[in-house]
């Protein structure tokens, strides 16, 4: 079985040693990566969060010119709280041909491999720019990378191809779903449950909207549209949280619930949201208002992530397909930062070592075979952009 070089494994282990759970600072890792890349002559740009506890790093090696390739990854990891690990999650360990540690697959395996090979790219003489885009707070809604992208737009920096190294088992992914999350708060009117018709039951109104959402979910499942390249081939709808009511003998005056659409790139999430609002306002609201004119709904946007849909003959797709052992392309149901790069005019694909199956779980790992494939991928890239 092919193995990654020792230097790659050591560098990944180093990145895992930085405890960069999203709620914590990532500055130690970012400063270390910056020092490493600046030592190679990189031009570095940092964008901070409002408290300056976290930063994105964008570093450019090679000639100062337009275009080039960007290797992109997030530096934050999900928490290990409540998870039963057999090893220290922040101390990488190699066992049974796998490297274990928080972020091994998602996605310090890729970030570490890219950093380990940076000196070799420089030594071979870059003919075009090679960029490193490392973000914070990806795991809590792709927060950090939005500032990084805005900074690039401001500076007029636009890579031709962005490779986002989220775990795809080194397959080239040209599409993923978008995610739009919302909170609906129902304002009703409280009263003694013996006089229920004099109140506006917020829990029941919420339940009717949730049932409507479930109906939408069934419609997409049964009637599509379907895209067979996705593992879940249609847009999905899901309600994840509900809060409301105080006691059985009180008509509840408030209820809120959180729901989301994970939509095919071709489906319009704004239209889906409008459909739900229209149902609530046309079917439920008149009856509520007859009892209490101030009852109604508040809608709040919780998350907005566009879908990714890159042509298979686009720059990054052609480039990446020429660098992998797999010639097939895929689409995935989880979201990544790639769609935000694409939206900003920087075409992006997703390709990285490890499987999403191991992400976010206890005993997260990436196989050494996957790391070797990632290293080979970047070596082939070296032949394209150097010399
Ligand atoms: Zn990730």
pLDDT at 65: 93
Helical spans, DSSP H, in the chain: 6-17, 27-38, 109-123, 144-155, 202-223, 269-279, 285-291, 315-321, 338-343, 368-385
pLDDT in 10s for each residue of the chain, 387 residues: 789 999 999 999 999 999 999 999 999 999 999 999 999 999 999 999 999 999 999 999 999 999 999 999 999 999 999 999 999 999 999 999 999 999 999 999 999 999 999 999 999 999 999 999 999 999 998 999 999 999 999 999 999 999 999 999 999 999 999 999 999 999 999 999 999 999 999 999 999 999 999 999 999 999 999 999 998 999 999 999 999 999 999 999 999 999 999 999 989 999 999 999 999 999 999 999 999 999 999 999 998 999 999 999 999 999 999 999 888 899 998 899 999 999 999 999 999 999 999 999 999 999 999 999 999 999 999 999 998
Distance CA 21, CA 7 (A): 24
CATH topology classification for 6-176+307-385 = Aminopeptidase (3.40.630)
pLDDT at 1: 72
- For residue 345, what are its two tokens? 């005019």
| The one catalytic residue among 137, 138, 204, 260 | 138
Backbone angles phi, psi at 128, to 5 degrees: -140, 165
What is the Å distance from ligand 1's center to 74 Cα? 6
What is the Å distance from ligand 1's center to 192 Cα? 49
What is the Å distance from ligand 1's center to 258 Cα? 23
Distance CA 352, CA 73 (A): 10
What is the Å distance from ligand 1's center to 75 Cα? 9
Distance CA 21, CA 301 (A): 25
Q: Assign domain 178-305 to its CATH architecture.
A: 2-Layer Sandwich (3.30)
H/E segment holding residue 71: strand 69-74
pLDDT at 387: 87
What is the Å distance from ligand 1's center to 326 Cα? 21
Verify whether residue 337 is a known catalytic residue. Answer: no
pLDDT at 53: 97
| The one catalytic residue among 76, 137, 139, 375 | 76
Domain locations in the chain as residue ranges: 6-176+307-385, 178-305
What is the Å distance from ligand 1's center to 134 Cα? 12
Verify whether residue 138 is a known catalytic residue. Answer: yes
């Amino acid at each position: 079985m092919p193995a990654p070089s020792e230097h790659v494994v050591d560098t990944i282990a180093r990145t895992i040693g930085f405890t960069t759970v999203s709620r914590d600072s990532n500055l130690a890792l970012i400063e270390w990566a910056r020092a490493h890349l600046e030592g190679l002559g990189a031009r570095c740009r940092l964008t901070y969060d409002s408290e300056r506890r976290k930063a994105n790093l964008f570093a450019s090696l090679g000639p100062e010119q337009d275009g080039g390739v960007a290797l992109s990854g997030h530096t934050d990891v999900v928490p290990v709280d409540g998870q039963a690990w057999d090893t220290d999650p922040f101390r990488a360990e190699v066992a049974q041909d796998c490297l274990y540690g928080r972020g091994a697959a998602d996605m310090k395996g890729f970030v570490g491999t890219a950093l380990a090979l940076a000196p070799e790219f420089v030594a071979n003489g870059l003919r075009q720019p090679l960029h490193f885009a490392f973000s914070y707070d990806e795991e809590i809604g792709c927060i950090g990378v939005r500032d990084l992208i805005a900074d690039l737009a401001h500076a007029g920096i636009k890579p031709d191809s962005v490779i986002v190294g989220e775990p795809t088992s080194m397959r080239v992914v040209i599409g993923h779903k978008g995610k739009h999350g919302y909170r609906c708060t129902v304002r009703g009117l409280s009263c003694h449950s013996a006089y229920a018709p004099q109140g506006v039951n917020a829990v029941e109104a919420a339940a009717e909207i949730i049932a409507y959402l479930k109906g939408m979910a069934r419609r997409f499942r049964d009637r599509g549209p379907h895209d067979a390249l996705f593992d879940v081939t249609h847009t999905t709808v899901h309600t994840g949280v509900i809060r409301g009511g105080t006691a059985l003998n009180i008509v509840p005056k408030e209820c809120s619930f959180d729901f989301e659409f994970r939509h095919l790139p071709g489906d319009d999430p704004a239209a889906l949201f409008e459909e739900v609002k229209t149902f609530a306002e046309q079917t439920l609201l008149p009856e509520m208002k007859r009892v209490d004119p101030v009852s109604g709904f508040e809608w709040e946007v919780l998350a907005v992530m566009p879908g990714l849909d890159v042509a298979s003959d686009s720059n990054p797709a052609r480039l990446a397909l020429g660098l992998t052992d797999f010639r097939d392309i895929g689409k995935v149901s989880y979201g990544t930062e790639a769609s935000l790069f694409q939206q900003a005019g920087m075409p992006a694909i997703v390709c990285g070592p490890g499987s999403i199956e191991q992400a976010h779980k206890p005993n997260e790992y990436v196989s050494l075979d996957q790391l070797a494939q990632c290293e080979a991928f970047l070596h082939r890239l070296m032949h394209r952009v150097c010399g």
